[in-house]
Amino acid sequence: PPAASATVAAPAAGSAPALATASAASTIAPDAAVEMAAATVPAADATPAAFAAVVPRSVPAVEVVGEGLGVPLAGDACIGFRLAQRLWDQRLQAATRSRASASSEQWELLVENCDAHANAITELMKDVGSLKSELSRQKGELKGCVNSLVQLDRRSGEQTERLIKEQHEKMVEGLDGVDKKHRAELACLESHLVGLLSAAAGREQDALASHIDECVARCEEELRFEFRGERERHAAQLEELRIELRGVNVRHAASVEELRSELCSDRGRHAARVEDVHQRSQTLEAAVQEHAV
């Protein structure tokens, strides 16, 4: 077949693809190719590219031009576009019918719900009217109860005040008698307590005096024993001091004797030195006289 060119518009978003007009020289594939493409491509993937991939390439190439998209395809793609357009139209009609039926069903359900709500509101209004009448009746009963309670409160207050006065008078009389009785008992207890305190004080003084006497006797005995021991220790110390004093006197006498002997020897040496010095001075005087002559 002779070569020919055709322009096919690409499918817009949300609508079926529009197939542009082709030249009269274009050759359409047989029905067997269309049936084979419909059987090969699933309904979910029915797109022009999918049909173009399975249709036999016996028609010259055409060009699909969309919104800024140009894809060169085989000439057999025209059959795919037509088949996809037909399938998409059928699917769109079925979806439109299903949406219309669903909308009508939803509208019927909405009308039924509105009727049910209207009936319920009517019943509620009836109940509200009955409740209002019952509320007015109960308000009247409550007013009567309030009046009765006010009267009862006033009577109970008067009776309470009267009972309080009577009980107060009885309590005052009872408290006076109890006060007198307690004062008498307190006087008796005070006298008894004074006697007990005096007896206890006497016993404590006697016990304290005996304890003091015992302590004094014990202290005297301890002091005598300690004084006796101190006297013995003092005598021993005096004896030791006497012995030490005798040794000191002996050592002092020996030291004095040594000092005397040393003093005598020192005097002899001093006299010898004086004599020696005197002789030297005489010798020097003689030498001086000789030198002067």
Looking at the DSSP bridge assignments, the partners of residue 7 are 63
Asked if residue 181 is part of any domain, the answer here is: no
The per-residue pLDDT for 73 is 42
Res. 145: pLDDT tops 80: yes
Tell me whether residue 125 is in a domain: no
| Distance from C-alpha of 187 to C-alpha of 198, rounded to nearest angstrom | 17
Strand, coil or helix: what is 57?
Answer: coil
What pLDDT score was predicted for residue 53?
55
Amino acid at 169: E
Q: Angle at Cα 289 formed by Cα 287 and Cα 292, nearest 5°? A: 110
Q: In whole angstroms, what is the distance from residue 149 CA to residue 142 CA?
A: 10
Q: For residue 93, is it within any domain?
A: yes
Q: CA-CA distance, 67 to 9, in Å (whole number)?
A: 8
Query: Residue 257 falls within a domain, yes or no?
Result: no
Task: Please report, for residues 2, 87, 187, 201, the alpha-carbon distance to residue 63 in angstroms, rounded to integers and kept in the order given.
Answer: 16, 21, 137, 140
Q: Which domain holds residue 105?
A: 7-116
Euclidean distance between CA atoms 182 and 176, whole angstroms: 10
pLDDT digits (tens, 9 = 90+) for 160-214: 888 888 888 888 888 888 888 888 888 899 888 898 988 888 888 899 989 999 9
Residue 30 structure tokens: 């047989």
257 falls in which pLDDT band (50, 70, 90)?
confident
Confirm whether 129 is domain-assigned: no
Higher pLDDT, 71 or 188: 188
Number of domains the chain contains: 1
Note the pLDDT of residue 104.
Answer: 78
Query: Is the residue at 110 inside a domain?
Result: yes
Residue 81: inside a domain: yes
Q: Could you tell me if residue 12 is inside a domain?
A: yes
Mean pLDDT across the chain: 73
Smallest Cα–Cα separation from 73: which of 86, 84, 87, 59? 59
